Structure 1
Amino acid sequence: MKKKRQKENIVKNLIRSRLNGLFFMVFVLFSILILRLGFVQIIKGEAYSAQAKETDVTTVSYSVPRGRIYDTNKKLVVYNIPEKAIVYTPPKYPQPGELLELAKKLTTILVMTDREINKVTDRDLKDIWLLAHNNGTDLITKKEEKLHKQEKLNDKDLYQLKLNRITESELQAMDKNLAAIYRKLSSAVALTPTMIKNENVTEEEYAKVSENLENLPGVDVSTDWKRGRTYGETFWNMLGEVTSADEGLPADKVEYYTSKGYELNDRVGKSYIEELYDGVLQGQKEKVETVTDTNGNVVSTETVSEGKSGKDIVLTIDIEFQAQVEKIIQEELISAIQKPHTDTLDTAFVVAMEPKTGRILAMSGNVFDRQSREFTDFTPGTFTYAFEQGSVVKGATVLTGYQTGIRDFGEIELDEVMRFKGSPKTFSSYLVMNRINDLEALERSSNVYMWKTAIEIMGGKYIPNGTLNINPQKIETIRYYFNQFGLGIPTKIGFDNETAGIKGTNTSTYFQIAIGQLDTYTPMQVAQYITTIANGGYRMKPQLVKEIREPNKNGDEPGNLIDEIEPMVLNQVDMSEEMLKRVQQGFWLVTHGPKGTARGYFKGEPYNAAGKTGTSESYKNGVKTWNLSFAGYAPFNNPEIAIAVIVPNAYRDGYAQPHSAANIISQRVFRAYFDLKEKGQQTTK
């Protein structure tokens, strides 16, 4: 009995010992688990939380209405036209098969535009064919499958074999409308609304999609917009364009825009005013945060930033005046090309500015196609194309002569035929004028007076039949003073493609810079030059926008003023007030003096203009031609408008001037401006 009890005690002790051991192991395991949880929650908690947020939270931006554009008189020029749209927001992990099924449903409702269908490539069709035919497994032989398993053919090899074996007839039988829709669906970014169709959506299409949303996962109806223009083609090129929903960010500027927070599919201004002021017109997009679970299902959405429509801008352009300027150019080009020896003529440019502010009132370039008998707008050419401008620059030459001490008021020079040793070529003014002073040189447009001035500035002295002995480096002195007026340097209008012109490099003809026959200048540079003389020596930045305003949701007029863009003085010329007034007087004689080269066009006009005519040699397609130009301002005593006009390649060399298109255009532009002012159609700028 005693032995039996001893045995039972031993068993009990053994069980107790094993239980204690088990409890200890459980304690240790729980301790390890608690420590691990503490490490995860406390030490790594922030990192895992951030990782979870990065993985499962997506922020999507929704576009807002773009700002409108008005002319200087608050007339609506560019606005948004609402358009019905069908949009698709894909899930986190869209599957190709699901997209194809959705495309099949949509193809029974939507007819894509020809433009979208034409984007479908054979490769697109082949990919869809494979998707619809069990990924093309029947196109691969057993031998090829075996080689694939042996890794003698890779996935890319098999894919290419499948593509090659899809027949032309199979491709021809495919539905391109379906392919166009699938192409749109498959290119959509996860959780980001993408336009499937936003052009020419019919009422029937819109209604059918709306009625079938339950069967079209991710698809919805919405409203998009396109830019509309009140005045049709007037000023259309300079207003610029906006990218389409397909284009998104311009390919060459993706890095620039994404660095500023834009999305790849954002619509932005892609040229001129729409691009230059995109940051103002774009508005502030609505941002929505979408939370998804590990399977990509949407858990919740929250608006984290309310959208705000783009701001409106008010141009300096008077759209009515602009339309008249364009009409004048076209009518005078048509008239001029009826004259003999004008087969090289097809283009004209006009820039009109406020001398005191630099605000552009109108700017236009037009090219006439003799075959189609149609005009093409080429307004950007006013600052992207440079020409030999001719005698319009002689005011800068005279002023440079004064400033360098080479010339004085009333100084007499002999206008004669100039001959240089060793050169059979002679140089002269249009007419030999004999002894003339500075005012007469401007009034009658003496080339000789200007040439002799330039030669002396460059350290030489004209001697009949002598050697042209100048210091070529000193041409930079002339260019330095020309630059002060804007000739030969960017005007700062604000566009990247502005040209500063081309500098002549033939030292034997350096003196030709004095008559605008060496370096080339843009119409915008000449406009800046003439405004600088007109306003008493201040080079103004050319300005196209004068105000930024809040959008007005209740009407077509702009809202409250946010910012007024003040005129900007780029520099003041070195010349004294007396020097500038002397040249101004010379310019008045050009249009009113007894021998003024433009008196026949301006002497009897009520607006009392002053200015300078120009004619210069040029070439087009290997043919020597003549450019015609005019630069002037009015009224003389208190200038309101300054203009620069150039008609390149106006007629062939060797013929008497058959027309005066530049002078006539200038006369008509001045008349149009003051007629509109008298009728009360212009406001104070």
Structure 2
Amino acid sequence: MDIIKKRTGSQAKSTIPFRLNLLFFIVFALFALLVGQLAYLQIVYGGKFEAEVNRTDKTVMTGSVPRGMIYDSKGRLLVGNSTENAITYTKSSGVKSSNIYTIVNRLTKYVSIEKETLSDRDKADYILAAPNKESKVAKQMPKSWRVDSNGDSLTNTQIYNNEVKYLKKEGIHLSDAELSRATLYKKMSAAYSLSTVFLKDKDLTSKEIAEVSEHLTELPGVSIGTNWNREYPQGKSIASIIGGVSTEQQGIPDDELNTLLASGYSRNDRVGTSYLEKSYESILAGTKSEREVQIGANNQVKKSKVVYSGQKGGNLNLTIDSKFQKKVQSALSTEFAAAQTAGITQYSDGAYVVVMNPKTGAIMAMAGTKNDPQTGKTSEDALGVINRTFVMGSAVKGATVLGALMDGVITPTNNTIADNPIYLPGSAVKKSVYPVGTYSSLTAEKALQVSSNEYMMALAMKEGNAKYEPKVSMTMDSDIFSKMRGYFNQFGLGVKTGIDISGETAGIEGSTRNSAGQLKTGSALDLAYGNYDSYTLIEMAQYISTIANGGYRLKPYIVQSIQKTKNNGDKGAYESVTSPTILNKVGFTQSELNVVRKGMYDAVHGSDYWTTATRLKDLTPAVAAKTGTAQSFYYNPDDPNNSDPPETITTSLVSFGPYDDPNIAMAIVFPNLTSESGSYPQLVAKQIYTDYYKMTGQS
């Protein structure tokens, strides 16, 4: 037994050291190989790896530039830019929420941020961005909010949403200071990767700028820059025509997102959202600045430099004289206020006027006063000229007469017609405002002077080959509506004018047949004297300008020219100048036109008691005009199904002057008054002519 023990001990002593030595040898060999490999990598690839650590990617970032200016016809600035200092933030790719949280808390030491209305989700996002806050909240949540029914962990997104839910359930209470930081956190977090957002661009003090500048190294992505806002040195009398520009938060409107992104815009770019700002976006926007940004291996912005400072947007020069515009708006507002004082505007939409150069199509002024029938409050609404329609009444009779002349049912020398009312079965008599029997017959000129409805209905009956038996029946050709509307369209009534402002609507045509499929002959008669179809006021201005200039339907325009901007911000070379555009030539002869022009002159200067526009007769130089009165109804938007809406009166006027050589034409409407009074449009026109003649030295 002793011998066995001695042998076993002897074997142990000799075996264990061998195994240890072998193990040590292997470890030493592996260690030697590792040291050799490290030395090899250091010597051969050391420079490469060092370069990789210090690697930077270069990318080009674009920045917005101030929009172009908008000037009136005399070079006065209507829309400019106010430039203000701003604190910006450029979001690095892959930046963590905890990093943004840290920057926010540092930045708010130097800058006061006005708190905004935040959702509970916004507040929770800020709270959870604090270091280790997510893990703490996760531990406090019920286990079922961290794992599913099988015990498997939920996704990170699901857990985060449950953390937000947990905070909401427990109640979120932030101090004013914390709300300010949460507001800033929301702005910075919402930024797209490598995009720049404005953190503060209003009321930034010099002290705040200085302190932020001193601590930029501890505020990665934060910088000092400038921002711009639209300003209106001449007031906002035509602000609705000019339109608006989106904020950085609003960015590109959804309906234009794909188009503008494809054109090089960013989602948070400020763009024109309506009317001139939108129609001329490509001109006003300018060319973006370009900045080369170096991004390190940690995805942080290491360095940036401006490689192209950008080009400020081009400038628009309008056809509108801002001083004349203010006078036109004042004249309109004064007379609408008078109508309010008279107590006849409780159902009124407001009042509108547009003044146009009949020789070129240039818009000289465009004004509107919109009235809220529910509150009686008024607001500026120049755009109502192009996007609201009204039944204009007798103001369209010039087109009715010229249509009949072109149709051949009357001639310049043979146009006397009996002045008889129309009696249709089952309806009230159709007649003029003056008593039946006042005139036995009328010429076309006299019919325009006294605004005879009977005469216009007789023209429609002639054009439609009517068969009429009083109080029994009337039949007309089935194409009577298309025939009369075809003539009206030649003057611009019932079709878009093509004005260079987005948002124009066209007039509305009434139905031509009743529910039984029968031709509405009575409505055809109403159409003839302007009491059926509705038109925009810009259509009325185009129509009267066509009569004033000898038959040329011109495209209205409000932008006279476009100019580039020099590097110093001054106006540069002209890019384009608008020339008159003839849309069509109406097919009447000069002798036919003279009939209507004479009738409109007599409507102002005639001595007959029923002459309609005599409030303009004292103007020098002399003018021509045609008044209009139409029956209308007020439809309360809060009670759209009212089967018995209040009946109202719409009064209108078209006019041009000087009569011998017109260089100004206008259209005016006062819709939905509660009593008939054609004086308001005439008084507005008289004041406009007086101001215009004085400003141009024609009086």
Alignment TM-score, normalising by the size of structure 2: 0.84
CA contact (8 A) 2:371 2:379 kept: yes
Contact 2:141 2:166 in 1 (8 A): no
* Deviation of 1:471 (Å): 2.1
Contact 1:148 1:154 (8 Å CA) reproduced: no
AA aligned to 1:224 is N
**TM alignment of 1:202-281, pairs within 5 A:** 202-281=205-284
Q: 1:634 aligns with which of 635, 644, 657?
A: 657
**1:676 partner letter:** M
Partner of 1:129: 127
**Secondary structure class of the residue paired with 1:608:** coil
- Is 1:67 paired with 2:68? yes
Identity of aligned residues (%): 32
**Distance in structure 1 (CA, Å) of the matches to 2:549 and 2:351:** 26
Q: How does 1:300-315 map to 2 (within 5 A)?
A: 305-315=308-318
Contact preservation (8 Å) 2:328, 2:365:
yes
| Counterparts of 1:193 and 1:207, CA distance in 2 | 20
In structure 1, what is the Cα distance between the partners aligned to 2:461 and 2:307?
70
Residue number among 509, 526, 542 corresponding to 1:528 in the alignment: 542
Q: Which residue is equivalent to 2:460?
A: 454
- 1:112-154, CA deviations, whole angstroms, 9 ceiling, x for partnerless residues? 335xx12x21101112222225312222345665658832744
Within a 5 Å distance, the mapping from 1:531-542 to structure 2 comes to 531-542=545-556
Name the CA distance, whole Å, in 2 between partners of 1:347 and 1:143: 63
Distance 1:454 1:76 in 2: 50
Give the corresponding residue for 2:20. Answer: none
TM-superposed deviation, 1:165: 2.0
Q: 1:647 aligns with which of 670, 678, 699?
A: 670
Alpha-carbon distance in structure 2 between the residues aligned to 1:144 and 1:273: 53
Question: Who is 2:443 aligned against?
Answer: 437
Aligned to 2:627: 613
Which of 154, 160, 179 aligns to 1:176? It is 179
What is the SS of the residue equivalent to 2:227? strand
Shifted more, 358-367 versus 452-461: the winner is 452-461
SS at match of 1:637: coil
Partner of 2:189: 186
1:570 matches 2:583: yes
Q: Which runs of structure 2 are paired with 1:485-496 in the superposition (5 Å)?
A: 485-496=491-502
Question: CA separation in 2, counterparts of 1:627 and 1:405?
Answer: 31
Equivalent runs, 1:37-56 vs 2, <5 Å: 56=57
- The answer to whether the 8 A contact 1:629-1:646 is kept is yes
**1:220 aligned partner, one-letter code:** S
In 1, distance between residues paired with 2:209 and 2:592?
Answer: 71
* Correspondence 1:358 to 2:377: no
> Could you say what secondary structure the match of 2:432 adopts?
coil
Counterpart pick for 1:330 among 333, 354, 361 = 333
Cross-structure match for 2:694: 675
Structure 1: unaligned runs, 5 residues or longer: 1-54, 681-685
Native 8 Å contact 2:346 2:376 kept in 1? no
The equivalent of 1:501 in structure 2 is 507
Residue 590 (structure 2) pairs with residue 590 (structure 1)? no
Task: State the alpha-carbon separation in 1 of the partners of residues 363 and 146 from structure 2.
Answer: 72
Query: Do the aligned partners of residues 405 and 463 (structure 1) sit closer, same or farther apart at CA in structure 2, a change above 3 Å counting?
Result: farther
Using the TM superposition, give the Cα deviation of residue 282 of structure 1 relative to its aligned residue in structure 2, in angstroms: 0.8
Q: In the alignment, what sits opposite 1:48?
A: none
Shift of 1:423: 2.4
CA distance in 2, matches of 1:315, 1:125: 47
Deviation at 1:474, TM superposition (A): 2.6
Offset at residue 553 of structure 1 (A): 6.0
Deviations along 1:211-260, one digit per CA (max 9) or x if unpaired, are: 22122111111111101111122211111111112211112211121122
1:478 aligned to 458, 462, 484, which one?
A: 484
CA RMSD, 1 decimal: 2.3
Residue 345 of structure 1 deviates from its aligned partner by 3.1
Q: CA deviation at 1:336?
A: 1.5
C-alpha displacement at 1:164, in angstroms? 2.5
Task: Quote the offset at 1:191 in angstroms.
Answer: 2.5
The 1-side partners of 2:109 and 2:120 are apart by: 22
Kindly indicate whether the alpha-carbon contact (under 8 Å) linking 2:632 and 2:649 is maintained by their aligned counterparts in 1: yes
Shift of 1:305: 4.5
Inter-CA distance 165–144: structure 2 relative to 1 (3 Å threshold)? closer
Partner of 1:45: none
Q: 1:289 to 1:591 in 2, by over 3 A?
A: same
**For 1:474 and 1:679, how far apart are their aligned partners in 2?**
44
CA positional deviation for 1:538: 0.7
Amino acid at match of 2:672: N
In structure 1, the partner of 2:617 is 603
Given residue 418 of structure 1, which amino acid in structure 2 is its aligned partner?
I
Query: Structure 1: which amino acid aligns with 2:141?
Result: I
In 2, distance between residues paired with 1:165 and 1:300?
A: 41
Aligned partners of 1:679, 1:413: CA distance in 2, in Å? Answer: 39
> After superposition, where does 1:342-357 map in structure 2 within 5 Å?
342-345=345-348, 347-357=350-360
**CA deviation map 1:654-685 (0-9, x unaligned):** xxx356211111111111211222299xxxxx
Q: Report the more deviating stretch, 216-225 or 170-179.
A: 170-179
Relative to 1, partners in 2 of residues 1:545 and 1:373: Cα closer, same or farther, differing over 3 Å?
same
Shift of 1:479: 0.7
The residue aligned with 2:679 is 660
Whether contact under 8 Å (1:452, 1:462) holds in the other structure is no
- For residue 306 of structure 1, report the CA deviation from its aligned partner: 4.7
Partner of 1:404: 407
CA separation of 1:464 and 1:370: change in aligned 2, threshold 3 A: closer
User: Tell me, which stretches of 5 or more residues in structure 2 are unaligned?
Assistant: 1-55, 513-519, 636-644
- CA distance in 2: counterparts of 1:374 and 1:148, whole angstroms: 62
On the 8 A contact 1:651/1:658 being kept in 2, the answer is no
SS for the counterpart of 2:473 is coil
Task: Note the C-alpha offset of 1:390.
Answer: 0.4
Three-state SS of the structure 2 residue aligned to 1:550 is strand
Aligned partner letter, 1:97: S
Report the CA distance shift for 1:111/1:281 in structure 2 as closer, same or farther (over 3 A). same
Deviation at 1:181, TM superposition (A): 0.5
Partner residue of 1:579? Answer: 592
SS in 2 for 1:483: helix
Kept in 2: contact 1:140–1:158 (CA 8 A): no
Corresponding pairs, count: 617
Deviations 1:317-350 (A, max 9, x none): 1111111111111111111122254432350000
In structure 2, the partner of 1:42 is none
Distance in 2 between residues matched to 1:143 and 1:481, nearest whole Å? 77
Q: Could you tell me how far 1:313 is from its partner in structure 2? A: 1.0
Post-superposition offset of 1:637: 1.1
- Residues 551 and 426 (structure 1), Cα distance of their counterparts in 2 relative to 1, 3 Å cut: same
Change (3 A) 1:438 1:185: same
Question: 2:259 corresponds to which letter in structure 1?
Answer: Y
Q: Which amino acid aligns with 1:673?
A: Y
Give the Cα–Cα distance (whole angstroms) in 2 for the partners of residues 218 and 614 of structure 1: 65
Instruction: Compute the displacement of 1:634 (Å).
Output: 0.5
Which region of structure 1 is more displaced relative to structure 2, 445-454 or 429-438?
429-438
- The one-letter code of the counterpart of 2:690 is R
Q: Against the structure 1 CA distance between its residues 57 and 510, is the aligned structure 2 distance closer, same or farther, given a 3 Å change threshold?
A: farther
- Read off the aligned partner of 2:627 and give its amino acid letter: T
Q: Is the 8 A contact 1:452 1:461 kept in 2?
A: no
Q: Classify 1:146/1:375 alpha carbon distance in 2 versus 1 (closer, same or farther; 3 Å).
A: closer
Instruction: Supply the distance in 2 between the matched residues of 1:81 and 1:438 (Cα, whole angstroms).
Output: 58
**CA separation in 2, counterparts of 1:354 and 1:85?**
44
2:419 aligned to which of 415, 419, 422: 415
Question: Structure 1 residues 142 and 332 mapped into 2: Cα distance closer, same or farther (>3 Å)?
Answer: closer
> Partners of 2:690 and 2:127 in 1: how far apart?
67
Contact in 1 for aligned 2:68/2:313 (Cα 8 Å) = yes
Shift of 1:96: 0.8
